[in-house]
Structure formats: C-alpha cells, structure tokens
Amino acid sequence: MTKEGKKRRSSAASASMDELQQSLMEIENEPAKEQRMSKVTKVPAVFEGLEFHTAGKKGQSRAVMQALTSVILEKGGDTIPVSYFALLLNSLPSTSDKDELDVMLYLLRLLLPEISASVLSTKFNDISETFQTILNKHYEASLLVVNTLKCIELVMQKVAPVITVKSWKKQAKLLSLFHGLLALSIDPRAKVRKEAQSIVHVMYAHEGGSSTGVNSGKIVGKFFVSQLTSQGPAEAKKKTTSYLFTLLTAIGFNIPLNILTSMFEAIFTQMKQNANFVR
C-alpha cells in the first residue's frame, strides 16, 4: 500500500472512531435543541437473527431490541452497536426485574464484540460499576451472575492489554472489580467459579501480562494466604485449596517470584496441617 493510501486509510479509521464517540455522547446527553436526523436506521447485523423470534428469551430480546431502537431513533441517533451499548449500559442499573435484566445482558453479550477497545476503555469505570452492582445485588441468582461475568470477560478481552498494565493505585474501579473476581473464583458454584477464573486469566493473557502480575501480585498473594489460613470445615478447606490451585495454574507464571514463593509456603503449611489432604 502506498503512503498516500495508508494516510487515507488512517484518516478513515479516525473519522469512524470520531463518529462512534459522537454517537455515544448523543445517546448519553440531553437532546440538542435542533433535532438531529438519524443517518443509520437499519438494525445492527448482530440483532438480525432476533427478527424471527416471537417467544421465549429470544422473543423477549427482540421486544427489548425494538424498544431500544425506538428510543435511539427518537433521539436522532444512529442504530449502530455503540448506540445500543450506551443505552443498555445506562438502563441496566435501574432494571430490577430479573427476567428483563437477563434479556438485557444477553443483548449486551451480542453487542460487546462489536464495540471498539477505545470506547470500552473510555467507559470502563462506568461498565465496571454497573456490573459490580448487578453482581452484588443478584449474587444468589446464579444465571444472572454467570451472564454478567460473561459480559465482563468480553470487555476484558479488549481492554485488559491497556488498563491492567498501568498502575492500579489510581484505578479504584479496577481494583474493586478484581477483588470481586477473586472472591468469585473460589465460589462453590462451578459455573460461577469457572467463569470468574476465566476472566482473571484473560486479565493476564496478553503481552503485558508480567506488568499485570506486578500490579496485582500483592493482592493475589494476600488473597491466597488469607483463604488458606482461614478457619473452617476441613472438607470446605480442601475444596477451596483445590480452587486456588486451579487459579494459580492459570496466572502463576505472571506473579512475581517473591510473592509466588510466599503463596507456596502457605500452601505447603496448610498441607502439613491437614494430613488427609496429601493422601
């Protein structure tokens, strides 16, 4: 490709990102005094399959999608993925009905692969706070927890290489989310536990994984040691230790050696104290 061609391609990509950011702002802010006319009115391709469903979860999803489309068009927005994403993100915190919330999370899972890493990084604090609110409020509802975690994983797949390599000291939302994910990574519910562990793994599974390990090492180390030294029934402790081993297998390579050493010392101490564990 010629230099001129590369320049045109770069300019086009920049213009496309500007349009996405503008659409995002238009959905979130109050309508302008002069009504904007929608330039794009076709439903995104990720939703096209829902048009044929009138019953069940996909039927409900179709109804919600149509309602979202109406809101976007009324505001003069474009029916592009980022517009639906912004509207869903704003609607999730105020949704109390579990079935409706499940449908909205399903739609969000369809949309997230279409949202750029730039937009997700910019909105990460809001995204993180919204998902944490759902996890805390509906902790007992396993299906909602798993679906929320699946959304978080889709977000992390795009933003982890950017946000996890920076210092975590000023990233309060990331810290809070990470603590929550660690707790869920040893949850007794298998689907919840595996999904949480998968997200934690994604946070390290990139070229800057070692930097992520440095930023999170002390947190992980304290979590492991506290879980291993806590009091509780022997059988429950054995299960927790097993869950911790599974998590450590996925991320241990990126944890600083001195912290990793202290974690293994705690594990060996626990094993010695419980002779049945090593049998």
> Tens of pLDDT along 13-69?
344 344 444 544 444 444 444 556 556 567 778 887 776 555 567 778 888 888 899
Alpha carbon separation from 75 to 40, 83, 169, 239 (Å, rounded): 12, 11, 39, 52
**Per-residue confidence (pLDDT) for residue 11, from 0 to 100:** 47
Where are the chain's structural domains? 1-115, 141-279
Paired tokens of 259:
């912290």
89, 123 in Cβ contact below 8 A? yes
- Cα–Cα distance between 189 and 11 in angstroms, integer? 49
Q: Which amino acid is at 188?
A: P
> How far is Cα 198 from Cα 18, in angstroms, rounded to an integer?
33
CA 41 to chain centre: 28
The pLDDT tens digits for 48-61 are 777 655 556 777 88
pTM of the entire predicted model: 0.81
Helix or strand (DSSP H, E) at 155: helix 142-163
Angle at 222 between CA 218 and CA 223, to 5 degrees: 115
Comparing CA positions, the residue from 128, 117, 40 lying closest to residue 76 is 40
pLDDT at 133: 94
High-pLDDT (> 70) share of the chain, %:
79
